[in-house]
Amino acid sequence: MSKRALMISVLGLLFGVLAHGSAPVWVIDLNDVIEASSARYLSDSLEKARTSDVPLVVLRIDTPGGWMDSTRDIVKDILASPVPVAAYVSPEGASASSAGTYIVYASHVAAMAPATNIGSATPVRGDGEAMEPNMERKVVNDAVAQMRGYAELRGRNIDWAEKTVREATNLTASEALEQNVIDVMASDIGGLLAKVDGMTLTTKAGSVTLATEGSEHEVITNAWFEHSSVKTLLDSLGDSLWWVIGIVLVIGEVVLPGTFLIWFAFAAFGVGLVGLVFDMSGMNQVIVFSLLSFASLSLGYLMRKRRGDPEAPAFADRTQAYMGKTYTVVEAIENGQGKIKVGDSVWLAEGEDCPVGGSVKVIDSRGNVLVTEIVPPDESASN
């Protein structure tokens, strides 16, 4: 083999190794209503993409729209991203309606699959009701300014950007490409990466020339909890949420005695206390609550057993242990409803009218309500 052929072979092998070792393109799905959890999901993903040296992030969009504040947060993250972002309306039949249109316009690359549509960017109230005219004018003008700004930044159709906000107009993929609303139309991710190859884009890190043809791509997925409304609620309210939950559970125990809600309340208060010392994510808060709930329930059960309380049945059949036993009325049973003392708990009761201090026998149960009958005076009551 000649030296020239040997050098070509070595260089080819080297470039092949380098290409194989480069980070793949990331594909992130935005396929639901745009809300706070969506914004957090994307923000976290873009940050990880930056630290992972990802060459391009593809946002695969199929959304009916969403909240304006969350859309603004997503757009801010895209504009500030050193990693180029390609908004790709896909698969066929998908749409980038309302909030999705803003995200497509703000992205470094705008792309659509065939048989998709974009538009209807007019702001509306979350409850579907009409806005007061002056307020509507302010909101619409603000949205128009946003869209025109994104269009100017990315060199896209400014007139249509305003029109879709004011008139809720829509375009198909081919129409959007023809009218300079998008840059590329592609049937799949592979086709998209081939068509954007060689594009030079301006990011916060400077100019970036894409070399994506033939690149591998990886779909980035998070567990449902990580971008769910539950996580948003937990993270936004923080430790105070658990104190509120604890108080609600205490009230629930008072209203529905004997339901063991008090033990879950102790667990909620425990999470609140732990949160004062440690900064926990939403998922960790749920895990700690689950562990403390189990420990609290177990401790409560053992305490009642240790002191010989005969009214400490297994959780699943606790009302069965009360059948045939006699208890004291602590809140008069009137019109068929009242309360009785069972061990150290107070239970709702149904049955014949009986005054406070009277004795009744449990003969049945309906959920957390004990059905009773009056005990004759000559029989002793147990409580």
pLDDT, tens digit, 9 for 90 and up, residues 205-243: 999 999 999 999 999 876 555 555 555 665 555 557 778
Instruction: Give per-residue pLDDT as tens, 44-64.
Output: 899 999 999 999 999 999 999
What is the edge-to-edge ordering of all strands in the sheet holding 57-61? 184-185, 109-112, 85-89, 57-61, 25-30, 217-220
Mean pLDDT computed over 112-118: 97
Task: Provide CB contacts within 8 A for 167, sequence distance 6+.
Answer: 122
Instruction: Give per-residue pLDDT as tens, 136-183.
Output: 999 999 999 999 999 999 999 999 999 999 999 999 999 999 999 999
pLDDT band at 279 (very low <50, low <70, confident <90, very high): low
Please tell me the pTM assigned to this model. 0.59
Q: Could you state, in order of their start, the residue ranges of all structural domains in the chain?
A: 19-227, 238-306, 317-374
The mean predicted confidence, pLDDT, of the chain is 83
C-alpha span between 7 and 13 (Å, rounded): 10
pLDDT given at position 380: 52
pLDDT given at position 265: 84
Looking at the predicted structure, is the pLDDT value of residue 287 above 90? no
Which architecture characterizes domain 317-374 according to CATH?
Beta Barrel (2.40)
Angle subtended by helix axes 133-154 and 158-167, to nearest 10: 160
Who has greater pLDDT, 150 or 265? 150
Choose the weakest-confidence range: 27-41, 71-85, 91-105, 212-226: 212-226
Q: CA angle, 136 as apex, 133 and 140 as ends, to 5°?
A: 145
Looking at the predicted structure, is the pLDDT value of residue 272 above 70? yes
Strand partners, 349: 338, 370
Who has greater pLDDT, 171 or 299? 171
Q: For residue 102, which of 56, 47, 143 has the smallest C-alpha distance?
A: 143
Looking at the predicted structure, is the pLDDT value of residue 297 above 90? no
pLDDT given at position 262: 79
Q: For residue 225, which of 167, 276, 175, 290 has the smallest C-alpha distance?
A: 290
In the chain, which ranges are E strands? 25-30, 57-61, 85-89, 95-97, 109-112, 117-119, 170-172, 184-185, 200-203, 206-209, 217-220, 326-334, 337-342, 345-350, 359-366, 369-374
Looking at the predicted structure, is the pLDDT value of residue 296 above 90? no
Top-ranked range on mean pLDDT: pick from 106-110, 220-224, 313-317: 106-110
Q: For residue 199, which of 175, 182, 219 has the smallest C-alpha distance?
A: 182
C-alpha span between 110 and 195 (Å, rounded): 12
Contact 258, 206 (CB under 8 A): no
Looking at the predicted structure, is the pLDDT value of residue 1 above 80? no
Contact 360, 349 (CB under 8 A): yes
Which architecture characterizes domain 19-227 according to CATH?
Alpha-Beta Complex (3.90)
Choose the weakest-confidence range: 4-13, 135-144, 170-179, 251-260: 4-13
pLDDT given at position 46: 93
CA distances 56 to 102, 192, 213, 329, Å, are 19, 12, 12, 71
Who has greater pLDDT, 171 or 286? 171
pLDDT given at position 246: 84
Please give the structure tokens belonging to residue 232.
Answer: 């948003």
Who has greater pLDDT, 145 or 296? 145
CA distances 232 to 39, 51, 179, 361, Å, are 10, 24, 38, 49
